[in-house]
């Protein structure tokens, strides 16, 4: 095991896959000489050269469109967008091209590409650079969506994404780039999509956390245990498409209570989708309605205090868990 930051684990995943397969290459704004806006591509240009680490013009629709064409021609591009909000400029290429081409050509054309995008709030980057767009891409058939919360999962999921023949939306939380964790070494450290992680076992309430909120959920679970004697089971889905719904439902059938935590907006969000699925398929096992903890229904403020007020924290998850357990404890 090696102890790595998230950005280092992601870099190692790309480097290992580029050594393994010459069809893999990286493209995006400032990924080469500058080594990435968040330094995730550090060292790749020195090792692989300009042919396989390509700095592009500042044009997201062009970057993703070129990636789609390269993927259809037999390469495996890793497209880095500087932040997730810029993907809106390439929405046509992602939704109407990357996701739809395999369907429109009956599988005769594949689009094996990865679009890496950092997102999330907490860095005072204002309303146009702090989005959580997991739900936006979750809705699109043909796309796989990965949301790692630990360095080990980041490396394993990215390696799997690069090897997959489908387009993958790979969302990284900006606040997690510096988080350290143990990461298995070796080229064979991969993780199949659609396998959730049980981060903490418990029998009183199920808490499902997305991306950074998986870590917030663990913090809340510790507080619930130490201060209230409540043992929460924490589930990290790791991928949203495909979704490991079975692990979530098994946990809900054990605890009879559920809380979903995400940083995105409340309307039409990941939590709304999961809440519906749980209610549809485990209604008779629920002793109370599913609780959702989300980001505020506002554009992200620039002010640090207001920004923090718009993002879910441990205390919000604790309150939601206590609310769904009211009358049961």
Question: Taking 80 as the threshold, does the pLDDT of residue 59 lie above it?
Answer: yes
Q: What angle do CA 62, 119, 265 make, to 5 degrees?
A: 115
Known active-site residue 316 = no
Instruction: Name the pLDDT band for 329 (thresholds 50, 70, 90).
Output: low
Q: How far apart are CA 325 and CA 228, in angstroms?
A: 11
Catalytic option among 60, 172, 263, 307: 60
Question: Taking 60 as the threshold, does the pLDDT of residue 176 lie above it?
Answer: yes
Catalytic option among 8, 97, 129, 263: 129
Dig out the tokens for 288 from the structure: 């109370």
pLDDT for the residue numbered 23:
98
The mean pLDDT value for 83-102 works out to: 97
The mean pLDDT value for 26-53 works out to: 95
Known active-site residue 129 = yes
Secondary structure (DSSP) of 162-226: HH-SS-EEEEEEGGGTT-EEEE--STT----TT--EEEE--SSEEEEE-THHHHHHHHHHHHHHH
Q: Using CB atoms within 10 Å of the CB of residue 57, give its burial: 0 to 12 exposed, 13 to 18 middle, 19+ buried.
A: exposed
- Residues 191/160, Cβ–Cβ less than 8 Å: yes
Instruction: Name the pLDDT band for 206 (thresholds 50, 70, 90).
Output: very high
pLDDT for the residue numbered 327:
60
Instruction: Name the pLDDT band for 69 (thresholds 50, 70, 90).
Output: very high
Question: Taking 90 as the threshold, does the pLDDT of residue 254 lie above it?
Answer: yes
Where do the H-state alpha helices sit in 237-313? 245-255, 270-282, 304-309
Tell me yes or no: is domain 197-325 CATH 3.40.50.920. yes
Q: Matching CATH topology for 2-183 and 197-325?
A: yes
Instruction: Name the pLDDT band for 185 (thresholds 50, 70, 90).
Output: confident
- pLDDT of 212-224, one tens digit each? 999 999 999 999 9
Tell me yes or no: is domain 2-183 CATH 1.10.240.10. no
- pLDDT of 188-198, one tens digit each? 889 999 999 99
Q: Report domain extents, the chain.
A: 2-183, 197-325
- pLDDT of 96-136, one tens digit each? 999 999 999 999 999 999 999 999 999 999 999 999 999 99
For residue 99, the surrounding DSSP H or E stretch is none
Question: Rounded mean pLDDT of the chain?
Answer: 96
């Amino acid at each position: 095991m090696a102890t790595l930051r998230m950005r280092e684990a992601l870099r190692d995943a790309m480097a290992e896959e580029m050594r393994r397969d010459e069809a893999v290459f990286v493209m995006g704004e400032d990924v080469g000489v500058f080594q990435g806006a968040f330094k995730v591509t550090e060292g790749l240009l020195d090792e692989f050269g300009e042919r396989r680490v390509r700095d592009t013009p500042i044009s997201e629709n062009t970057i993703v469109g070129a990636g789609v064409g390269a993927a259809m021609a037999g390469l495996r591009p890793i497209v880095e967008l500087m932040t997730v909000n810029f993907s809106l400029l390439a929405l046509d290429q992602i939704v109407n091209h990357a996701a739809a081409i395999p369907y429109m050509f009956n599988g005769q054309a594949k689009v094996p590409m990865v679009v890496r995008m950092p997102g999330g709030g907490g860095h005072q980057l204002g309303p146009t650079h702090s989005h959580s767009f997991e739900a936006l891409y979750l809705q699109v058939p043909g796309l796989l969506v990965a949301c790692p919360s630990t360095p080990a999962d980041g490396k394993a999921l990215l390696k799997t994404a690069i090897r997959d023949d489908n387009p993958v939306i790979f969302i990284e939380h900006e606040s997690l780039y510096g988080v350290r964790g143990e990461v298995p070494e070796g080229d064979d450290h991969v993780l199949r999509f659609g396998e959730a992680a049980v981060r903490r076992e418990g029998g009183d309430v199920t808490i499902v956390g997305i991306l950074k909120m998986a870590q917030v959920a663990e913090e809340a679970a510790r507080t619930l245990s130490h201060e209230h004697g409540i043992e929460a089971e924490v589930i990290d889905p790791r991928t949203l498409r495909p979704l490991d719904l079975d692990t979530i439902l098994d946990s809900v059938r054990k605890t009879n209570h559920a809380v979903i935590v995400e940083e995105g907006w409340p309307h039409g969000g990941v939590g709304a989708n999961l809440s519906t699925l749980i209610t549809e398929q485990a209604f008779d096992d629920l002793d109370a309605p599913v609780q959702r903890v989300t980001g505020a229904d506002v554009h992200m403020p620039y002010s640090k205090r207001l920004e923090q007020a718009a993002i879910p924290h441990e205390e919000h998850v604790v309150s939601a868990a206590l609310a769904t357990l009211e009358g049961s404890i």
